[in-house]
Amino acid sequence: MKSEYERMIKNAFPKQLQSDVDAVIQILPLADENPICGSYPLIVSSWQIRLEDEFLTVPYRIYFNEPELDLESTLNERQTDILNCIYSRHHNGYVRAKRLKRISDHAENWTVPFVIQLLGEYVWELFPIINTKINESTLHFYKDFRLENPTYWRLLESRVVSYWNEYYRDSFPKWENYFGNQVLHRINQ
């Protein structure tokens, strides 16, 4: 089963990164049994996106612990971004927030699916962090991603609207003032 989880993680990143992904996998505490949820799988569900000429399958949630800090310190900058992208899918929202903050603000295009997925989730507190990731040096990656993945993008927009309507409409009565909408608007321009 461990090899299946490794394959799932590899499929979430472009082939050109495979040696870096392999280095990251070496420090992940993957096991055949879930240490957090018993018989529940370590990686749950996924979605497929297109990134340039490749189709990637990104995990929806992961259920394994973070690696030892001394092992993390052996990774280079790109490998650290890969690790942080993986843990941006963690079942614990605090881990997702921590790892999102640690993704480089000048990251490469392969980080986009991990960052943008968080915009379609219900944790409003992540939006300011997401906003820092979508900056002048990365905005074109997000615009390209939107154009390459129109079906996914419509679903993401629907989720942002739905979560605003369900959880944040009282705090932000006008859709235009909702931070999720403002981030979407920047990318859609």
Residue 106: pLDDT band by 50, 70, 90 thresholds?
confident
Residue 40: pLDDT band by 50, 70, 90 thresholds?
low
Section 53-58 average pLDDT: 96
CB-count exposure of residue 109 (10 Å: 0-12, 13-18, 19+): middle
C-beta of residue 31 within 8 angstroms of C-beta of residue 65: no
pLDDT at residue number 43:
77
Using one digit for the tens of pLDDT, what is the confidence trace for 63-93?
888 999 999 999 999 999 999 999 999 999 9
Whole-structure pTM value: 0.93
Sketch the domain layout of the chain as residue ranges.
2-188
Using one digit for the tens of pLDDT, what is the confidence trace for 10-24?
999 999 999 999 999
How far apart are the C-alpha atoms of 145 and 164, rounded to whole Å?
23
**pLDDT reading at 34 higher than 70:** no
106 CB contacts (<8 Å, ≥6 apart)? 135, 137, 138
**pLDDT reading at 33 higher than 60:** no
Residue 46: pLDDT band by 50, 70, 90 thresholds?
confident
**pLDDT reading at 38 higher than 80:** no
**Which whole-number Å values give the CA distances from 73 to 4, 76, 183, in the listed order?**
26, 8, 32
